[in-house]
A and B are shown apart, each in its own frame.
Chain A
Amino acid sequence: MDIGTLEKRLAREKAARSEAEALLEAKSRELYLSNKELLKASQTLIGQSQQLNAIFDQALTVILLADGDGTIQRANRSAEMTFGREAGELKSTNLYDLLDQNSREAAAEMERRRDPAKKFTAVGNMQEMVGLRADGTPFPLELAVSVFELEGKRHGVWITRDITARKEAQEKQLRLEQELRQSQKLESLGTLASGIAHEINTPIQYINDNAHFLKESFADLMSVLQAYDVLLQKADAHDQFKEQTGAVRANAEAADVDFLKEEIPSSIEQTLDGIERISKIVTAVKEFSHPGTTEMTAIDLNQAIETTLSVTRNEWKYVAETTTDFDADLPMVPCLPGDINQVIMNLIVNAAHAIESKGGENLGKIAIKTSHADGQVSVSITDSGCGIPEANRGQIFDPFFTTKEVGKGTGQGLSIAFNIVAQKHDGTLSFTTEEGVGTTFTITLPAVQASGVKAETEAETKEAV
Chain B
Amino acid sequence: MSARVVFVDDEPNILRGLQRTFRRLRNEWDMDFLDGGEAALKHLSENPADVIVSDMRMPGVDGAQFLTEAAQTHPETLRIILSGEADREMTFRTVGVSHQFLPKPCNTDSLCEKIRRCLAAKSKLPHADLQIAASGTASLPVSEETLQTLKAAVEGASSSLEDAADIFASEPGLAAKILQLANSAYFGIGQSVNSPAEAVRLLGSDIIKPLVDKGCFKSAAATPALNTAVFDHTLTQAKSMAALAQKAASEAQASSTQIELARVAGLLHNIGRLVICSNFPNCYSDLESGGAVEPAGLDQQEEQAFNCTQADVGGYLALLWGLPDAVCTAIAHQTTPDTAPDPRDAVLLALQAARQAGGEGHEEAAA
Contacts and interface: CB of A to CB of B under 8 A. Distances in A.
| A and B found bound together | yes
Interface of A: 198-199, 201-210, 212-213, 216-217, 275, 279, 282-283, 286-287, 290, 293, 295-300, 303, 329, 332, 334, 448-450, 452-453, 456-457, 460-461, 463-464
Nearest to B241: A464
Closest 8 interchain pairs by CB? A298-B201, A209-B17, A206-B17, A213-B20, A201-B84, A460-B243, A464-B240, A198-B85
A213 B17 contact: yes
Interface stretch (B58-66, B163-171, B221-229, B295-303): B163-171
Contacts of B17: 205-210, 213
A463 B201 contact: no
A329 B197 contact: no
A323 B243 CA distance: 39
B84 A202 contact: yes
Given A202-B11, A204-B104, A298-B202, 12 more contacts: A202-B13, A202-B14, A203-B13, A205-B82, A207-B17, A209-B18, A298-B198, A299-B202, A334-B201, A460-B243, A461-B247, A463-B239
Contacts of A286: 189
Contact of B166 (A204, A205, A210, A452): A452
Contacts of B244: 461, 464
A452 B162 contact: yes
Q: Is the interface of B mostly helix, strand, loop or mixed?
A: helix
Contacts of A201: 84-85, 103-105
A453 B165 contact: yes
Q: Is the interface of A mostly helix, strand, loop or mixed?
A: helix
Contacts of B263: 457
A456 B170 contact: yes
B255 interface: yes
A401 B166 CA distance: 45
Given A198-B84, A202-B14, A456 B202 contact: no
25 contacts: A198-B85, A199-B84, A202-B14, A205-B14, A205-B82, A212-B108, A213-B21, A217-B23, A275-B105, A283-B189, A286-B189, A295-B206, A296-B161, A300-B191, A448-B201, A452-B162, A452-B165, A453-B165, A453-B166, A456-B166, A457-B246, A457-B263, A461-B243, A463-B240, A463-B243
Contacts of A283: 103, 189
A198 B170 CA distance: 36
Interface in B147-188: 161-163, 165-166, 169-170, 188
Given A287-B189, A453-B166, A205 B201 contact: no
Interface in B181-238: 188-189, 191, 197-198, 201-202, 204-206
Nearest to A194: B85
A275 B205 CA distance: 35
B242 interface: yes
A444 B62 CA distance: 46
B153 to A, nearest CB: 12
Contacts of B188: 290
Nearest to A278: B105
B16 interface: yes
Nearest to A337: B204
A205 B106 contact: yes
B205 A295 contact: yes
Most chain B CB inside 10 Å of its own CB: which residue of A207, A209, A210, A449: A209
Nearest to A214: B20
A199 B247 CA distance: 47
B256 interface: yes
A201 B17 CA distance: 13
B20 A464 contact: no
A279 B105 contact: yes
Given A329-B255, A449-B162, A461-B243, A205 B105 contact: yes
A460 B108 contact: no
Interface of B: 11, 13-14, 16-18, 20-21, 23-24, 82, 84-85, 103-106, 108, 161-163, 165-166, 169-170, 188-189, 191, 197-198, 201-202, 204-206, 239-240, 242-244, 246-247, 255-257, 263, 358
Contacts of A299: 202
B257 to A, nearest CB: 8
Contacts of A456: 166, 169-170
A286 B86 CA distance: 13
Given A329-B255, A460-B240, A461-B243, A209 B108 contact: yes
Contacts of B240: 460, 463-464
A332 B242 contact: no
B9 to A, nearest CB: 9
Contacts of A209: 14, 17-18, 20-21, 108
Contacts of A463: 239-240, 243
Most chain B CB inside 10 Å of its own CB: which residue of A204, A205, A452: A205
B198 A332 contact: yes
A456 B239 CA distance: 11
Given A453-B197, A460-B240, A206 B14 contact: yes
Contacts of B162: 449, 452
A130 to B, nearest CB: 47
B316 to A, nearest CB: 27
A213 B198 CA distance: 38
Nearest to A458: B243
Contacts of B170: 456
Nearest to B107: A208
Contacts of A450: 197
Nearest to B86: A198
Nearest to B197: A453
B210 to A, nearest CB: 14
A403 B202 CA distance: 39
A308 to B, nearest CB: 15
Contact of A303 (B11, B82, B191): B191
Given A198-B84, A206-B13, A290-B188, A464 B198 contact: no
Most chain A CB inside 10 Å of its own CB: which residue of B105, B163, B205, B242: B105
A297 B82 CA distance: 26
A15 B46 CA distance: 152
Contact of B23 (A213, A287, A329): A213
Contacts of A449: 162
A362 B105 CA distance: 37
A334 B247 CA distance: 27
Nearest to B23: A213
Given A287-B189, A452-B165, A464-B240, A204 B20 contact: no
A460 B236 CA distance: 10
Nearest to B257: A329
B88 to A, nearest CB: 9
